Amino acid sequence: MLTEILGVRQIPDEPQRRWFQSDDLDLIVWCEEAGAPTGFQLCYDKPRSEHALTWTPELGFLHTAVDDGEDVGISYKKTPCRRWLLQR
């Protein structure tokens, strides 16, 4: 079951963010001032093989894989990054 994380950091000049979380899903919803959604990102299969499905009016749908930086053959973890799988 998804539960909302309260007190989510808001980014200046971006729509308000709401973040919902479960053991294997994250859902981030961007909302206009009146509260209507303007975009979303659904992250799934975490922590096994995380992927993200993102939709914004400007870009349409993006499907990405998340590289967690764990299996890089070095002694420290790198910053996670997204690999683009499908655009629009």
Residue 70 lies in a domain: yes
Question: Which is it for the CA torsion 70, 75, 81, 83, positive or negative?
Answer: negative
* Domain range enclosing 61: 14-87
Residue 1 lies in a domain: no
Give this prediction's pTM: 0.73
Residue 4 lies in a domain: no
C-alpha distances out from residue 36 to 4, 51, 73, Å? 17, 25, 44
Residue 51 lies in a domain: yes
Residue 69 lies in a domain: yes
Residue 64 lies in a domain: yes
- Domains in the chain, number: 1
pLDDT of res. 76 = 53
Residue 6 lies in a domain: no
C-alpha count within 13 angstroms, C-beta hemisphere, residue 19? 9
Q: What is the pLDDT of residues 45-79, one digit of tens each?
A: 877 788 889 999 888 898 888 766 665 555 555 44
Residue 27 lies in a domain: yes
